[in-house]
Amino acid sequence: QTVVTQEPSLTVSPGGTVTLTCASSTGAVTSGYYPNWFQQKPGQAPRALIYSTSNKHSWTPARFSGSLLGGKAALTLSGVQPEDEADYYCLLYYGGAQSHVVFGGGTKLTVL
């Protein structure tokens, strides 16, 4: 069974920069995994931030960016705001005969 791994928790100071990563148990994450990133705040449905590694939705703040870093998908927040405190989930696509997607376990980001 495929496992997608994220940092369980990270802490960042307001105005700082933080990078969240997303690894696959199958090996290095490439653009062919079409990494997605979602933000979820308590009591709310997830909100899509990044798709296909680095593409932003129209509502995604400019301080969020996606990339590939050292064999993992990465989400970088630059100039962190207090409202960025949330859970962040990555999602990877696995193609083939039984194509499916898998969520990472999520990263709880604390802004302190």
- Which residues lie near another protein (CB under 8 A)? 1, 34, 36, 38, 40, 45-48, 51-52, 57, 87, 89, 91-93, 98-106
- How far apart are CB 98 and another protein at their closest, in Å? 6
Residue 17 or residue 110: which is nearer to another protein going by CB?
A: 110
Structure tokens at 86: 């949330």
- How far apart are CB 3 and another protein at their closest, in Å? 11
Residue 27 or residue 99: which is nearer to another protein going by CB?
A: 99
Closest by CA to 72, choosing from 49, 88, 100, 53, is: 53
Other C-beta atoms within 10 Å of 78: how many? 13
- How far apart are CB 51 and another protein at their closest, in Å? 4
